[in-house]
Amino acid sequence: MRPIVAILSVLGLFATVSAAPAQTPGQPFPPRPQPAVQLPPLLYVKLIGPKGTQTTFYRGTTTPQTFDLPCTIGVRPGYCCRFAVSGIPGFGKEVFFASLEVHGSLMLANGVRNADFPAALVFIDDDFAKVRSDISLKRVIVLERPETAIPKASKADDPLEVNVQPNRDPMVEARGRGAPLLIFNMGERRFSAEELAAETVPGSLLLPGEKTLGMPTQGPCLPWNCYPVSDPILGPISPAELMAIPDGGDVGLPAGVTRNGKIFGLDPSDTVASFADSQGTRRLVCSNRVHLCVPRFIVIKAEIAPSTQVALLGVGDTHAFNAHAMFNARQPVLEQSQRQMLEVFGGRNRASGTVQTIGTAITGRIDGVDIRGSLSGPRGIDAQCQKLGPEPPEGCLLVNKWPDKCGGIVGDIINFTLRYTNTGGRPISTVVLTDSLTNRLEYMPGTAKSDRDAVFTTQINDAGSLVLRWEFSGSLLPRESGIVTFQVKIR
């Protein structure tokens, strides 16, 4: 018995066993407190259709609740919702049935509400005509990645649609463009009121006009993951990477400037400034980096139509080889790389100072004649050399960038301000501000303004947007600054 007690004491279990209260035989142990359940935030979906169209929902009961379009609903990730669509102009009393499978939601912060960023699901007449002809529709709503966004303008109530080939899974296309949040299906089959009621779990659907939603009566039936793991080493994707538009600074390939003032390495979203210091040397600085919270949804659309299936019941083809065959193939080099080492490196160094030592020039006797001299002090002083003060520091440029709002929805106007300041002690000249816009920002023509005389030009960049450039003449004195403003439209 002693060895067992010693082992329990070493493992820290003896004190637990001795401190446990006496338990009456037959009496159950008290239940342990359960941790609070953390439910994911709702995904809000705005249903839009022709005027007069209505949607009917069932939540666990056969009592219908009908709403006119447009209307906004909230669905919990991990649940499925089936509903009926009726009253479409031109289709009489025909009823269509659709389903929503929610796999993710927006993970917002800083008091921003998910209800302010609903995903639009638009019904058009052509959709109902295709369903009538036995064609099933499948759409995947994707939270688009800002860095690979389609460089096209869109609206919050009219998202961009990407059609996939009939033999391609739309989920493959969706994962390549961002985070799939919702799968919409219409035209599979007809459902009864009992089936519609059984498919929607109470506590998983927030209808228009409701403020709160209770706990679901059943567990989720779908796997939900707002931001799946993209890399086994780097870990999960940050929610900000899918909802924030970065702008400003210098990312990617570091930007540089040549002697003649040409800038290279300018990536979309970079904001840099070049100038010439007091020695005439071209220098380059970048601005701060800002982020705009503007999630954008796109729709991956696929159509599933009935097809013909062909089966072969017999042998289609037979090949026989009577001897061994040999086949040789030569393939060219697909990839070749070579490293080159630095052969010559040169640099110029300027002299930092000069030291001169003066000693006795000639001392001696010539042909027995003594050479003697006398020293006399100065009779008058015409000038006096003053001690040099510290040299003023070289001029440097500071660029600050900020928007008038921290985010918005697709189609909003953002006003950007750029302030450039000479923080050094010497004047600088030939200041050039360059701002390369991302594919999600569209410059509004005629909105660029400056408080100093400048030559303003634009140029198309690789992201499908514009590069804005301000070139200022003259010098910028120490502690002097300037401001430029411009407006962009969120695509």
pLDDT score recorded for residue 52: 94
Pick the CATH number of 244-294+392-490 from 3.30.559, 2.60.40, 1.10.490, 2.20.25: 2.60.40
Residue 388 predicted with pLDDT over 80: no
pLDDT of residue 386: 46
Residue-wise pLDDT tens digits, 433-476? 999 999 999 999 999 999 999 999 999 998 999 999 999 999 99
Q: Where are the domains of the chain?
A: 43-206, 244-294+392-490
Once rounded to an integer, what is the mean pLDDT over residues 124-130? 93
User: Per-residue pLDDT tens for 252-295?
Assistant: 889 999 888 889 999 999 999 999 998 889 999 999 999 898 89
Q: Region 124-131: what's the mean pLDDT?
A: 93
pLDDT per residue over 299-333, tens digit each?
Answer: 999 988 776 444 545 555 544 444 443 434 444 44
Residue 222 banded pLDDT, cuts 50, 70, 90:
confident
Quick one: pLDDT at residue 112?
79
pLDDT given for residue 366 in this prediction: 52
Q: Which residue has the higher pLDDT, 259 or 19?
A: 259
What is the rounded average pLDDT for all residues in the chain?
80
* HEC sequence for the chain: CHHHHHHHHHCCCHHHHHHCCCCCCCCCCCCCCCCCCCCCCCEEEEEECCCCCEEEECCCCCCCEEEECCEEEEECCCCEEEEEEECCCCCCCCCEEEEEEECCCCCCCCCCCHHHCCEEEECCHHHHHHHHCCCEEEEEEEEECCCCCCCCCCECCECEEEECCCCCCHHHHHHHHEEEEEEEEECCCCCCHHHHHHHCCCCCEECCCCCCCCCCCCCCCCCCCCCCEEECCCEECCCHHHHEEEEECCCCCCCEECCCCCEECCCCCCEEEEEECCCCCEEEEECCEEEEECCCEEEEEEEECCCCCCCCCCCCCCCCCCCCCCCCCCCCCCCCCCCCCCCCCCCCCCCCCCCCCCCCCCCCCECCECCCCCCCCCCCCCCCCCCCCCCCCCCCEEEEEEECCCECCCCCEEEEEEEEEECCCCCEEEEEEEEECCCCEEECCCCCEECCCEEEEEEECCCCCEEEEEEECCEECCCCEEEEEEEEEEC
